[in-house]
Amino acid sequence: MSVVQAESPRRGGREARRALRAAPLAMNERPVWPGMNGGRFKLFSQEEMQKIHAAALDVLEQIGFADAIPSGIEAMTRAGAKLGSNGRLTFPRALVEDTVAMAARRFPLQAQDPKFDMEPWGTRVYFGTAGAAVHIIDPVTGEYRESTTKDLYDIARVVDEMEHIHFFQRAVVCRDLPDPFEMDFNTCYAAVMGTTKHVGTSWVDPRHLRASLEMLHMIAGGEDKWRARPFVSQSNCFVVPPLKFAQDACRCLEVAVEGGMPVLLLSAAQAGATSPAALAGTIVQAVAECLAGLVYVNALKPGAPAIFGTWPFVSDLRTGAMSGGSPEQALLSAGCAQMFQFYDLTGGTASGMTDSKIPDAQAGYEKAYNHALVGNAGANLIYESAGMHASLLGYCLESILIDNDILGATQRTIRGIEVTDESLSVETIRQTCLEGPGHYLGSEQTLRLMQKEYVYPTVGDRTSPKEWVERGSTNIVDKAIKQTKLILERNFPRHVPDAVDDAIRARFPVRLPREAMRPKV
């Protein structure tokens, strides 16, 4: 018998199993799903979290914030903050603790398609994109070019099809739009037109946000429907670390709260540069800054939805450059996840910001250990998790597919191993050893669990070396390039009716050409 003949039955069985796995499963039958509970990885003890909390209260009460805008001063002092002779706002302990007690909890983040709605509280974990990369990366040549509005739309279209990427936040800057209003407006437009998942983005001027809110009302079918299901959240860098308010961002924050838009309160210091080099000190500062943001939001509107965005970064202290793929980054983000749980607040942090410039082995290992720690720590919303390179400077569409595989595998570790009478498998072992063939390959349990318990990669390769050669010796980047091309050729979301899009285009300067949103004939 030839080698090929000998392998045929095995290969046929494998192909049959692949075909079975290709059939879509109902969500309750999948091995992983959005919003699984993490929290098994505990970086801090309860006593250590209490110390971080106490230190953050000391910072707010004794040091406070500089550069608050007049409307912010008025709102926060009315709530109980103190304006010192040095112009800094300080926050008494009682004010902070009362604010934490009254803050919004267990609020959903909605999507245009309700099947993508998220419930990010407790230790439930969701992965999404984010960032402001200014370059798009060619995964083969390594060439970097400036990112455009069409790139942003294309990224949203790819994310729209990724099972393990649960929300879409603006990932690149529209460098083709020098006008700040057009950039902000078209960023929001391209994102909400490219995916039906929950969207996050940012604005630099309240007027830009008001125009975008008008567009969102049109898409939702009216302001009342928007307020009932706000499917876009604002990423707001309200603080310039250390401990200064960012005035333009604060003006935008006030408009978002008034407009019923959830706000990500984003504190993004860099350890060793704009926050202490001591990692615990960086978390103290991030927590203090986000607690101040929480006071701000609730002083404007008690119970308004706000995401506790402790998002500290890491410096390579030899050069001062950011190091988004470092183990210290994983520890900071995992520690922040525990603080969300300490306060019982919805929180967001970052993971997956590899230092590697292209999708390579370094990118893979840096993203994998960051995601494993941060996901298993139970961070509710994990941003920057797909496509990002060069510590937020470059973005690669093809990496979205590779990272989708990493996120699927990470989620499987989050799910863990269920121990039940059935899963202990004593009867299955008895039947196989005493009555069966002596292996489990064809057992009822194996066939039943092969899809429900096991995650399989989409672009990762598990074939034998012989099969790999027979199939062209392709690597993971080759496969990602091919699949990305297929997605971009077929997926043109049409969830916003043409009549609504026409009205938006008649009212606002939309710079994404209509032909870019339709298949080529």
Could you report the per-residue pLDDT of 387-412, keeping only the tens digit for each?
A: 999 999 999 999 999 999 999 999 99
- State yes or no: pLDDT of 15 exceeds 70: no
**Within 10 Å of residue 93's Cβ, how many Cβ atoms?**
12
Least confident of 14-23, 40-49, 400-409, 435-444: 14-23
- State yes or no: pLDDT of 8 exceeds 50: no
Could you report the per-residue pLDDT of 152-170, keeping only the tens digit for each?
A: 999 999 999 999 999 999 9
Q: What angle do CA 462, 378, 156 make, to 5 degrees?
A: 60
* Range 52-64 average pLDDT: 98
Least confident of 4-8, 112-116, 506-510: 4-8
Longest CA span, the chain: 92
**E strand or H helix that includes residue 183:** helix 180-194
Q: How confident is the model at residue 28 (pLDDT cuts 50, 70, 90)?
A: confident
pLDDT for 395 equals 98
Cα 394 to the center of its chain, rounded Å: 17
Contact criterion met (CB below 8 Å) for 188 and 215: yes
Least confident of 9-23, 120-134, 324-338, 343-357: 9-23
**E strand or H helix that includes residue 124:** strand 124-127
- State yes or no: pLDDT of 518 exceeds 80: yes
pLDDT for 29 equals 85
pLDDT for 2 equals 36
**E strand or H helix that includes residue 397:** helix 397-415
- State yes or no: pLDDT of 212 exceeds 90: yes
Contact criterion met (CB below 8 Å) for 227 and 260: yes
Which has the closest alpha carbon to 67: 311, 313, 308, 289? 289
Which residue blocks in 312-360 are alpha helix, DSSP H? Answer: 327-343
DSSP state string for 209-240: HHHHHHHHHHHHTSHHHHHHS--EEEEE--EE
End-to-end CA gap in the chain:
51
Share of the chain above pLDDT 70, in %: 95
DSSP state of 359: S
Cα 83 to the center of its chain, rounded Å: 36
Look-up: residue for tokens 């183990």? 327
Spatial neighbors of 126 by CB under 8 A, at least 6 apart, are 34, 35, 118, 120, 166, 167, 380, 381, 382
Could you report the per-residue pLDDT of 292-301, keeping only the tens digit for each?
A: 999 999 999 9
Q: What angle do CA 39, 40, 42 make, to 5 degrees?
A: 85
* Range 221-238 average pLDDT: 98
Could you report the per-residue pLDDT of 349-389, keeping only the tens digit for each?
A: 999 999 999 999 999 999 999 999 999 999 999 999 999 99
* Range 17-44 average pLDDT: 83
Q: Which two tokens stand for residue 77?
A: 């002092």
Which has the closest alpha carbon to 53: 479, 338, 293? 338
Share of the chain above pLDDT 90, in %: 93
pLDDT for 27 equals 78
* Range 329-334 average pLDDT: 98
**Within 10 Å of residue 319's Cβ, how many Cβ atoms?**
8
DSSP state string for 244-287: EE-HHHHHHHHHHHHTT--EEEEE--EETTTB-SSHHHHHHHHH
Q: Which two tokens stand for residue 115?
A: 């099947």
| CATH dotted code for 101-415 | 3.20.20.480
* Range 459-470 average pLDDT: 96
Q: Rounded to whole angstroms, how far apart are CA atoms 60 and 89? A: 9
- State yes or no: pLDDT of 16 exceeds 80: no
Which has the closest alpha carbon to 13: 447, 506, 485? 447
Look-up: residue for tokens 């082995």? 361
Domain boundaries, the chain: 101-415
Which has the closest alpha carbon to 352: 324, 310, 318, 322? 324
- State yes or no: pLDDT of 23 exceeds 80: no
- State yes or no: pLDDT of 66 exceeds 50: yes
Least confident of 4-8, 119-123, 179-183, 271-275: 4-8
What is the residue-averaged pLDDT of the chain? 95
pLDDT for 17 equals 56
pLDDT for 246 equals 98
Q: How confident is the model at residue 436 (pLDDT cuts 50, 70, 90)?
A: confident
Q: Rounded to whole angstroms, how far apart are CA atoms 134 and 130? A: 12
Contact criterion met (CB below 8 Å) for 284 and 253: no
pLDDT for 394 equals 98
**Phi–psi pair at 234, nearest 5 degrees:** -100, 125
Q: How confident is the model at residue 455 (pLDDT cuts 50, 70, 90)?
A: very high
The amino acid at residue 31 is: P
**Within 10 Å of residue 450's Cβ, how many Cβ atoms?**
14
Q: How confident is the model at residue 25 (pLDDT cuts 50, 70, 90)?
A: confident
Could you report the per-residue pLDDT of 237-289, keeping only the tens digit for each?
A: 999 999 999 999 999 999 999 999 999 999 999 999 999 999 999 999 999 99
Task: Please give the torsion angle defined by the CA atoms of residues 417, 419, 423 and 424, in that order, rounded to the nearest 10 degrees.
Answer: 120
Q: Is the peptide bond before 457 cis (omega within 30 degrees of 0)?
A: no
The amino acid at residue 36 is: M
Contact criterion met (CB below 8 Å) for 489 and 519: yes
Look-up: residue for tokens 């099809």? 161
Q: Which two tokens stand for residue 408?
A: 């699927």
Q: Rounded to whole angstroms, how far apart are CA atoms 388 and 379? A: 19
